[in-house]
């Protein structure tokens, strides 16, 4: 995963992934505009293995995080110095998640993501809806639907790790390890949705899995 | 705030706000690319009024959320139908927050945001650091630093509502109202950072403010 080389920045071509545009409006009589992106709705799933009492995370190299670890000056270089900035800086710890880009139910897409990314075969009926919110308020405002799912070792039928070109590691953490992580003095390489999920789990579910 | 009219979409010009580019790299021998945005680091503050035992939120019209409430078909119209899609759809409930774009300490910027947006005059020593994380893993990977701050009615020295062109309302919620909000069946018009903050507060702080 950390074998990442030959990194450089180039202008955005016509991109299928990032589609920026300007939203124009008049508020209280004053003309305004806001620049934003077209993005997909998504699902995310808090997967907890009750056999071994461990939270299941996914880990992958995230260019957006890596890029933000590079000094403003070094970002302008022709090529990023991978000795000075090892790829490990960009490895994020996240909840299992995926975009809604198929004509299937949200629950079915969540079920498939748990299998593809984490390797657990769950039923739609195993999914407990937590809530839905907006993925952001600045440039992205798509819906994200959050589910909770308890799994057992028996349900692990595949290795996980994603599909196609995805390079994803499945990582487990105990409840004390999660609590330790949330006390970190360093900037966590995780997004707020993951931290919400962990706090939700600690508040509503963790006690029944403690000794 | 909800007086929003004359809404339409246009191509992104050279924008000072949204600066998309392509990040190119080779992982495990395979050439890849990822499209992302240049974004600022930011601060966010959980402000709790201990005199009246209420959480302080800010509310504002967010084009990114509004846009995502519009059907794919209606997005392509020359002008958004504001009867069919009232501006209230795009009003987000958020924590006090701001970008780090001044040459000041993170704590000082947080202190200023609490005053500008919420109207409370706090000291840097009133700010308790919660944690720092990455604002996203997809197109944005900037740092966000989260603080907790208890305020009293005495500290309310200004109206709040933001500076310059900002149109921001200050909103309060009791602890039971927060708990009710987090049980919503509807998609919340809030980002995950706000939900993380609420779960963190309920888990670590709320009990001492309950009757």
Both tokens assigned to B10:
């246009």
Residue B120 pLDDT greater than 80, yes or no = yes
Q: At B196, which helix (H) or strand (E)? A: helix B192-204
Query: A27 and B167: CB-CB below 8 Å?
Result: yes
Contacting B residues, span 10-29, partner chain A, CB-CB under 8 Å: 10-13, 15, 17-18, 20-29
Query: What is the C-alpha separation between B84 and A211, in angstroms, rounded?
Result: 54
Residue A23 pLDDT greater than 80, yes or no = yes
For the stretch B136-174, what's the b/e string if a residue is b when 16 or more beta carbons lie within 10 angstroms of its beta carbon?
bbbbbbbbbbbbbbbbeeebbeeebbbeeeebbbbeebe
DSSP 8-state symbol, B114: I
Both tokens assigned to A164:
């196609």
The residue written with tokens 């003095």 in the block is A185
**Mean pLDDT across the stretch A76-100?**
93
What percent of chain B stands above pLDDT 70?
A: 100
SS3 (DSSP) at A92: strand
Residue A75 pLDDT greater than 80, yes or no = yes
**Tell me: the pLDDT tens digits for B40-69?**
999 999 999 999 999 999 999 999 999 999
Chain B residues in contact with A29 by the CB 8 A cut-off are: 3
Closest CA to A174 of A123, A209, A131, A127: A209
**Tell me: the pLDDT tens digits for B21-47?**
999 999 988 999 999 998 899 999 999
**Tell me: the pLDDT tens digits for A49-65?**
999 999 999 999 999 99
pLDDT value of residue A14:
87
Q: At A67, which helix (H) or strand (E)? A: helix A63-67
Query: What is the C-alpha separation between A145 and A125, in angstroms, rounded?
Result: 16
Chain A residues in contact with B35 by the CB 8 A cut-off are: 12, 15, 17-18
Query: B137 and A203: CB-CB below 8 Å?
Result: no
All structural domains of chain B, each given as residue ranges with its CATH number in brackets, are 40-130+139-206 (3.90.79.10)
pLDDT value of residue A177:
98
ipTM above 0.90, yes or no: yes
**Tell me: the pLDDT tens digits for B144-200?**
999 999 999 999 999 888 888 889 999 999 999 999 999 999 999 999 999 999 999
Both tokens assigned to B134:
């990455």
- Pick from B10, B18, B189: CB nearest A139: B18
A173 pLDDT band, cuts 50/70/90, is very high
Which of A22, A76, A86 is the mutation pick for testing B, counting most B CBs within 10 A? Answer: A22
pLDDT value of residue B165:
81
């Amino acid at each position: 995963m950390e074998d990442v080389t030959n990194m450089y920045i180039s202008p955005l071509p016509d991109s299928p992934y990032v589609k920026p545009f300007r939203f124009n409006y008049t508020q209280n009589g004053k003309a305004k505009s806001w620049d934003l992106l077209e993005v997909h709705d998504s699902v995310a799933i808090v997967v907890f293995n009750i056999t071994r009492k461990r939270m299941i995370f996914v880990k992958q190299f995230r260019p957006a995080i890596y890029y933000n670890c590079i000094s403003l000056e070094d970002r302008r270089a022709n090529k990023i110095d991978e000795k000075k900035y090892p790829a490990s800086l960009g490895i994020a710890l996240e909840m299992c998640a995926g975009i809604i880009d198929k004509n299937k139910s949200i629950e079915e897409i969540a079920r498939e993501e748990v299998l593809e990314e984490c390797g657990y075969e769950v039923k739609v009926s195993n999914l407990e809806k937590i809530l839905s919110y907006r993925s952001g308020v600045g440039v992205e405002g798509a819906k994200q639907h959050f589910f909770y799912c308890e799994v057992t070792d028996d349900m692990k039928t595949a290795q996980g790790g994603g599909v196609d070109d995805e390079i994803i590691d499945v990582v487990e953490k105990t409840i004390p390890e999660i609590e330790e992580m949330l006390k970190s003095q360093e900037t966590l390489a995780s997004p707020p949705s993951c931290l919400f999920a962990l706090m939700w789990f600690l508040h509503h579910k963790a006690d029944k899995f403690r000794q």
